[in-house]
């Protein structure tokens, strides 16, 4: 059977890069080549942006409620294809099937929710200061926008960027991570089947270094939504600032979970396991720092180690697997490097810490779920995002100590506290420097109706999702209508 070849989607057609070059798409569990993908160049970016520019002029005139109906149709197609999409996702980036189904469902939920925004793009009508005059505000699309997305949530994140961009009346150039080209093609096929006009959504495949910056630099791009690393996000925001265009950059996290002395330990245990080792720790919202109250420290850590030992690592397509591989060799190397860094800096390895490479693991990128204790804020494992199944644990005695530890970090995306004490939970909500706070639930997850994003090094620009997402992809336009039928002598009665 021939290896599939993946192409760009530009102006409603599936076409190869003008360079004729391609790159390989690998299964991280087996090392097998899934497909080859066309490798885009500046010329391909130019084609995609020009197609989007032509389409944007017509798409913005398409009534917003009708744009919303198209999103509903896309959502129906997503729902019908959910299981097949989940399997494609697992094969390409490794997360277990249950997590892939959740990823697709999050994209479905977001698309349905944003579809309703086609009938909710409200402005304001206000009393004018002069007689026989009317004043109002309305929303206006930017024109052509760029969506630059990561590999770890290849359905949910494109959906929460592209759906609001489309319903607001923009045309989109979509640049996904080079590790998930096959799934990105499937994502665009959904919109093609839904009847989106040619050029309204365009896909360019290739590396961020060769394609992403070119896209942000293009003078026809009027807004950029980016999710990825802190270093690249700052670069995107710098370029956008220099050009004077809007940019929102979601740039990762180092998220703390605080287990208070009165916590329901069974509830907290489930939340920490999901938060730390779900998706192999490859989430910006992953629980990567665990703070345990001194009074329950030994008991809870013992419970956590015992349950972590039960995690079954393997191919995500196997229904018995509970944690899949790292996405590629580079991420695996990063995980192993930070394990060694933590050891050298004096952290105590409690569990895991090794690559799995025998038998069924031989050709994949597998690492054990890993726990370190004795962490201090000066240690790199406490400060730096790893994006792997490596949990840093620390002990505290007072609320003030817990908050100092939790906030002593350059990131501020999400956080969690487990407690039965309302006072503690509300003090945590007020004191935590994070964009999202969970009480008695894991650090992971979001919902379409509320904003997603962080503080400090976790994000810059507007929030994503909810009404904020649509507002990012549009501008406010104010209209004054004078119906006196004559020139006014002055701006007074």
pLDDT digits (tens, 9 = 90+) for 412-451: 999 999 999 999 999 999 999 999 999 999 999 889 999 9
Residue 13 vs residues 19, 154, 169, 203, 469: alpha-carbon distances, Å? 17, 22, 21, 10, 28
- Please state whether the predicted TM-score (pTM) of the whole model is above 0.85: yes
Please give the pLDDT value at position 1.
74
Residue 445 · residue 257 · CB < 8 Å: no
The set of long-range contacts for 19-27, using a CB threshold of 8 Å and a minimum separation of 24, is 19/43, 19/44, 23/178, 23/206, 23/207, 25/92, 25/179, 25/181, 25/182, 26/328, 27/91, 27/92, 27/364
Catalytic, 129? Answer no
Arithmetic mean of pLDDT, 44-62: 97
- CA proximity to 293, closest of 147, 143, 403, 172: 403
Per-residue pLDDT band for 248 (boundaries 50, 70, 90) equals: very high
- What are the tens digits of pLDDT across the range 90-114? 999 999 999 999 999 999 999 999 9
- Pairing label, strands 370-373, 348-351: antiparallel
Q: What is the tens place of the pLDDT at every residue in 322-354?
A: 999 999 999 999 999 999 999 999 999 999 999
Rounded to whole angstroms, how far apart are CA atoms 463 and 458? Answer: 11
Q: Rounded CA gap, 176 and 433, in Å?
A: 30
- 246 beta partners: 223
Question: Which entry of 117, 250, 385, 464 is annotated as an active-site residue?
Answer: 250
CB 413 within 8 A of CB 253: yes
> Are the beta carbons of 100 and 87 closer than 8 angstroms?
yes
Per-residue pLDDT tens for 473-488? Answer: 999 999 999 999 888 8
E runs forming strands in 261-386:
287-293, 348-351, 355-356, 366-367, 370-373
- Arithmetic mean of pLDDT, 136-155: 97
- 27 C-beta neighbours (distance < 10 Å), count: 21
Dihedral-angle region of residue 384 (phi above 0 means left; psi in -120 to 50 means alpha; beta otherwise): beta
Q: Which residues of 137-163 are buried (b: 16+ CB within 10 A; e: fewer)?
A: eebebbbbbbbbbbbbbbbbbbbbbbb
* pLDDT for 489: 72
Active site residue 250: yes
Does position 493 have pLDDT exceeding 60, yes or no? no
List the catalytic residue out of 257, 284, 334, 409.
284
Mean pLDDT over 17-40 rounds to: 96
What the chain holds in terms of domains, given with CATH numbers, is: 5-251+458-478 (3.40.605.10), 255-439 (3.40.309.10)
Helix (H/G/I), strand (E/B), else coil: 4: coil
Q: Any alpha helices (H) in 116-212, and if so which ranges?
A: 156-167, 181-194
Task: Say how far apart CA 450 and CA 163 lie, in whole Å.
Answer: 15
The pLDDT of residue 492 is above 70: no
pLDDT score, position 491: 58
Enumerate residues 6+ apart whose C-beta is below 8 A from 274.
442, 444
pLDDT digits 0-9 by tens, 265-320: 999 999 999 999 999 999 999 999 999 999 999 999 999 999 999 999 999 999 99
Would you say 326 and 388 are in contact if contact means Cβ atoms under 8 Å apart? yes
User: Which among 359, 57, 371 has a CA at the least distance from the CA of 220?
Assistant: 57
95: nearest Cα among 443, 301, 422, 327: 327
> 435: closest CA among 463, 461, 409, 408?
463
Q: Check if the beta carbon of residue 178 is closer than 8 Å to that of residue 56.
A: no
Q: What is the mean pLDDT of the chain?
A: 96
- Alpha carbon 180 to its chain centroid, in Å, reads 14
Query: What pLDDT, in 10s, does the model give residues 249-269?
Result: 999 999 999 999 999 999 999
């Amino acid at each position: 059977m021939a290896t599939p070849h993946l192409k760009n989607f530009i102006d409603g057609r599936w076409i190869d890069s003008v360079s004729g070059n391609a790159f390989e798409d690998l299964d991280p569990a087996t090392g097998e080549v899934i497909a080859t993908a066309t490798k885009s160049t500046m010329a391909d970016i130019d084609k995609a942006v020009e197609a989007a520019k032509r389409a944007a002029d017509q798409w913005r005139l398409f009534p917003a409620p009708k744009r919303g109906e198209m999103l509903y149709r896309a959502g129906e197609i997503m729902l019908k294809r959910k299981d097949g999409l989940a399997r494609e996702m697992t094969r390409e980036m490794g997360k277990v099937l249950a997590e892939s189904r959740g990823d697709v469902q999050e994209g479905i939920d977001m698309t349905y929710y944003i579809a309703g925004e086609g009938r909710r793009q409200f402005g304001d009508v206000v009393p004018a200061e002069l007689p026989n005059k009317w004043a109002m505000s309305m929303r206006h699309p930017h024109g052509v926008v760029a969506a630059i997305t990561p590999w770890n949530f290849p359905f949910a994140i494109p959906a929460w960027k592209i759906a609001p961009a489309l319903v607001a009346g923009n045309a989109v150039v979509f640049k996904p991570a080079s590790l998930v080209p096959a799934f990105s093609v499937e994502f665009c096929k959904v919109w093609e089947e839904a009847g989106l006009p040619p050029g309204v959504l365009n896909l360019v495949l290739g590396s961020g270094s060769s394609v992403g910056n070119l896209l942000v630099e293009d003078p026809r791009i009027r807004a950029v939504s980016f999710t990825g690393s802190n270093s690249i996000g700052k670069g995107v925001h710098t370029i956008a600032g220099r050009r004077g265009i809007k940019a929102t950059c979601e740039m990762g996290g180092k998220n703390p979970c605080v287990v208070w002395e009165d916590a329901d330990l069974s509830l907290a245990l489930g939340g920490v396991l999901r938060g730390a080792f779900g998706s192999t720790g490859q989430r910006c919202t992953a629980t990567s720092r665990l703070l345990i109250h001194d009074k329950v420290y030994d008991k809870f850590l013992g419970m956590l180690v015992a349950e972590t030992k039960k995690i079954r690592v393997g191919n995500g397509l196997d229904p018995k697997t509970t944690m899949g591989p790292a996405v590629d060799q580079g991420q695996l190397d990063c995980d192993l490097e930070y394990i060694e860094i933590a050891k050298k800096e004096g952290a105590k390895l409690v569990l895991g810490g090794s690559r799995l490479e025998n038998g069924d693991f031989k050709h994949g990128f597998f690492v054990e779920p890993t726990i370190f204790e004795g962490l201090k804020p000066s240690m790199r494992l406490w400060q730096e995002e790893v994006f792997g199944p490596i949990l840093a644990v620390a002990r505290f005695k007072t609320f003030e100590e817990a908050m100092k530890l939790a906030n002593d970090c350059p990131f501020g995306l999400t956080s969690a506290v487990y407690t039965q004490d309302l006072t503690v939970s509300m003090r945590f909500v007020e004191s935590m420097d994070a964009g999202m706070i969970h009480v008695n639930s894991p650090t992971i997850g979001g919902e379409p109706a509320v904003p997603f994003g962080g503080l400090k090094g976790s994000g810059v620009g507007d929030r994503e999702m909810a009404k904020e997402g649509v507002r990012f992809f549009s501008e406010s336009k104010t209209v004054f209508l004078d119906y006196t039928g004559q020139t006014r002598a002055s701006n007074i009665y």
